[in-house]
Structure 1
Amino acid sequence: MDHKNRTLVPANGGNPLGHPPVKRFGLYDLGQTTVYTASQHPSFSYCLYVPPNFQLSAVKPELVVVVHGSPRTFMDFRDRFQDFGASENALILSPLFPVGVQGDHNADGYKYLSEPGIRYDEVLLGMVADVSSRYDLRFDRFALFGFSGGAQFVNRFMLLRPEWLWAASICAPGSVTLVDDVSDWWVGTRDVESRFGLALNRAALARVPVQTLVGAQDVDTDEITHVEGGRNWMPGANSAGRTRPERLERLRASLLAAGLSVTHEVLDGVGHDPVPMISHTKQFFAAELARLRAAADASPCAQFPTHS
C-alpha cells in the first residue's frame, strides 16, 4: 500500500470546544517520525517523537532535544525519551551529526560546536526552526540532554546560547569547557566572542538549571586523553582531570562559581552507559518543566527573550 498521501488526525479525531482547528499531518509526522533533512543545513538530519494528540492537550507543547554520542544512535535516544514526551506533551528532537561531513573523517566537530564552514549551534537552531514551522509551534526555549560526545555538545551549546535553554542535562562528557576567562576555547571561554561572534551571556547562563551525571565506574581514560598533535589538542586539554568523574566535577564547580544551580550525581555501580542516566534526566526535566509551566500560568503575559 502506498502511504504517501495518507494523513492522520489526533486519535479522538475531534476538535473540542475552545480549541483552534486541528492541523492534519502526514502518516510519519506523528508519534515516532521519519527522518527529516535539516532545511537550512542539508548535510544534517533529525527525527522526532511528536505526541499524537499534542494539539488537544490542556498544556502547551514544549521541546526537548536529545543529542547522541559518538556511535550516533540518534533514533534510540529519541525512543528512550518517548514516554517522557507522551506524558509531558513534549516533542522530542534527536539530531544526527554524522562523521566526516567535510570529507575529512572528523568525528568530533559537533562536540566542539564548530569545524571549518560549520557552526553546530546554528545547525541545531535551524532544526528547531524547522520543527516550529512544521507543527505551527513556537519554541522560545527548550531542554537539552546529551550523553558522552553529546554531553560535550550540551556543555558548549549552553555556554554559547544559554538564552535558548530552560534546562540542560550533561551526562558523562569526555572533555569539558569551563567558564574560564584565562583559557581560550575549548578549554575555557576567554575568546568566545572573537571566535563565535557571541559574548558570554553570564546573566542568561546563570538562569539555566543544570544537571550533571556520571557513573562512578566510568574511569577508562583511553578515549578521553588528549595527545599533543591530535585534532583537538591545545594547552590545558587534560587539565580538568584524568577521568570523566574528575572532569565533570571540575565542570560542576565551574558552573557553581558562575552562579548556576547544578544538580550533580555520581551513580554507584554505573560505567559508561546512558540508560540509567536517562531515567534521572527525565525526573530532572519533569521537575523543571513543572516549574516552567507554573511560572507561565502565574504570569501569562510574561515575555521570553526573542532570538534572531
Structure 2
Amino acid sequence: MNDDTIQKLEETAARVKKFRPGHPALQILSGRAPTFASALDQRFSFTVYTPSSHDFHGPELPLVVAVHGTARKAGELIDWMASFAEEHRCVVLAPLFPCGIIDFADVHNYKEILYRSIRFDHILLSMVDQAAYIWRIRTDKFFMHGFSGGGQFCHRFFYLHPHRLLGLSIGAPGRITVPNTQHAWPLGVSNIQEVFEMDYGPDFRQMSEVPVHFVVGEKDTSTKMIESKNEFEEGSTRLERIQILRDSWTRIGVRSTLSIVPGVKHEGKKCLPAVLSFLAPLLDAVERAA
C-alpha cells in the first residue's frame, strides 16, 4: 500500500480508538461485519467476524483466514465459522476474489496466486494489514484454511509465505503444486523465483515448522473440472491428488495429518468439522501462551 493509503488507514484507526463502548459504529463493526473493499485494490473485498470477547481497546486476538472456493461463497464461510470463533476467541477473515477480473469469463484467477500481473498473495496480506487498523488482531502470524479452489490458493501461498502461518488446513484441491524442481509453476517449483521475483526458492525448513492438515471427502472421486493439463500431472481425482501432495510434502519434512471424511463428496461444509478439530487445539495453545 502506498503512503497515502496508509495515512488514511491510520486516520481510520485513530477514529475507531476514540469511539466509546456502545457507539453505533462499533456495533456495526462487531460480530459479522459488513464487506470492506480492499485498500490495495478495490476490485477485491473481505469480511470479518469478531467474537463477543473482542475489545476494540483490548488485546489482539488470533486470526483465521478462510479462503473460498470457485463458487466464491465467502459469506457462508463466515457464517459456518461464527460459533467456532466465539468458542475459541478468534477473528475470522474471509477474502472475496470475484470472477471476471480482466477476463470477464474467468473463474480461476486467484488459485495459482499470480494472474495477469495480480499477486493474490499480496492482496490477501494487505487485507490482513487493513483489518488490523480496525480490529484487534494478530497479523504477524495467522491460521489459514481453504477448500477446493481455496485449497489450491492456500497450499501455494504456503510455498511463498510459510513464516506467516501458525497452522494450515488444505481442503480437496483440484490441482496441486508439488515441491518438484523439475517442473515449472504451477505444476512444480522449478521457476518459482522467477515467477514471483523472489531472491530464493521455497523454504522447506520453515514449511516443516508449521502444523498442516489435509481434508477430503471419502467419495470426492469425480474427475469433473480437474482433467490433467499435461502428462506430468499425477492423480485423477481430488482424493488421489491430496494424498500425492501430502506424500510429497512429507518427503521435504512437512508434518501433517490427513482427514478423509466418510461418506462425503466434494462438500466443504461437511468437511469443516475436521478442519475445526485441527484448528481448535492450536488456537487454545495460542491463548494459553498469551
Q: TM-score, normalised on structure 1?
A: 0.82
Aligned mates of 1:74, 1:126 — CA distance in 2 = 17
Aligned mates of 1:186, 1:223 — CA distance in 2 = 17
The alignment status of 1:285 with 2:279, answered yes or no, reads yes
Give the counterpart of 2:223 among 197, 221, 224: 221
**Structure 2 CA distance for partners of 1:31 and 1:194, relative to 1, 3 Å:** same
Counterpart of 1:242 in structure 2 is 236
The alignment status of 1:260 with 2:262, answered yes or no, reads no
**Structure 2 CA distance for partners of 1:123 and 1:235, relative to 1, 3 Å:** farther
Letter in 2 for 1:280: A
Aligned mates of 1:149, 1:94 — CA distance in 2 = 14
Deviations 1:189-211 (A, max 9, x none): 11111110232122211111111
Counterpart of 1:271 in structure 2 is 265
Counterpart of 2:121 in structure 1 is 121
**Structure 2 CA distance for partners of 1:192 and 1:258, relative to 1, 3 Å:** same
Counterpart of 2:10 in structure 1 is none
Aligned mates of 2:84, 2:59 — CA distance in 1 = 14
> Over aligned residue pairs, what C-alpha RMSD do you find?
2.2
The size of the alignment, in residue pairs, is 271
Q: Which moved more, 1:73-82 or 1:58-67?
A: 58-67
After superposition, residues 73-112 of structure 1 pair within 5 angstroms as 73-112=73-112
How far does residue 50 in structure 1 lie from its aligned partner after superposition? 1.0
Counterpart of 1:300 in structure 2 is none
Aligned mates of 1:95, 1:279 — CA distance in 2 = 21
Letter in 2 for 1:253: D
Counterpart of 1:301 in structure 2 is none
Q: Which moved more, 1:193-202 or 1:163-172?
A: 193-202
How far does residue 53 in structure 1 lie from its aligned partner after superposition? 3.1
Aligned mates of 2:29, 2:102 — CA distance in 1 = 30
The ranges of structure 1 where at least 4 consecutive aligned residues each deviate by more than 6 angstroms after the TM superposition are 56-59
Counterpart of 1:205 in structure 2 is 207
After superposition, residues 167-182 of structure 1 pair within 5 angstroms as 167-182=167-182
Counterpart of 1:71 in structure 2 is 71
**Which ranges in structure 2 are unaligned for 5 or more consecutive residues?**
1-17
**Which ranges in structure 1 are unaligned for 5 or more consecutive residues?**
1-6, 14-22, 227-232, 298-308
Contact kept, 8 Å, 1:9 with 1:24, in 2: the verdict is no
Counterpart of 1:165 in structure 2 is 165
Aligned mates of 2:157, 2:72 — CA distance in 1 = 18
Q: Percent identity, aligned pairs only?
A: 30
**Structure 2 CA distance for partners of 1:246 and 1:159, relative to 1, 3 Å:** same
Letter in 1 for 2:248: S
**Structure 2 CA distance for partners of 1:136 and 1:282, relative to 1, 3 Å:** closer
Q: Which moved more, 1:125-134 or 1:196-205?
A: 196-205
**Structure 2 CA distance for partners of 1:169 and 1:109, relative to 1, 3 Å:** same
How far does residue 155 in structure 1 lie from its aligned partner after superposition? 0.9
Aligned mates of 2:197, 2:267 — CA distance in 1 = 35
Counterpart of 1:143 in structure 2 is 143
**Structure 2 CA distance for partners of 1:214 and 1:27, relative to 1, 3 Å:** same
**SS of the residue aligned with 1:34?**
coil
Letter in 1 for 2:202: L
**Structure 2 CA distance for partners of 1:104 and 1:254, relative to 1, 3 Å:** same
Contact kept, 8 Å, 1:215 with 1:266, in 2: the verdict is yes
**Structure 2 CA distance for partners of 1:170 and 1:55, relative to 1, 3 Å:** same
Contact kept, 8 Å, 1:30 with 1:50, in 2: the verdict is yes
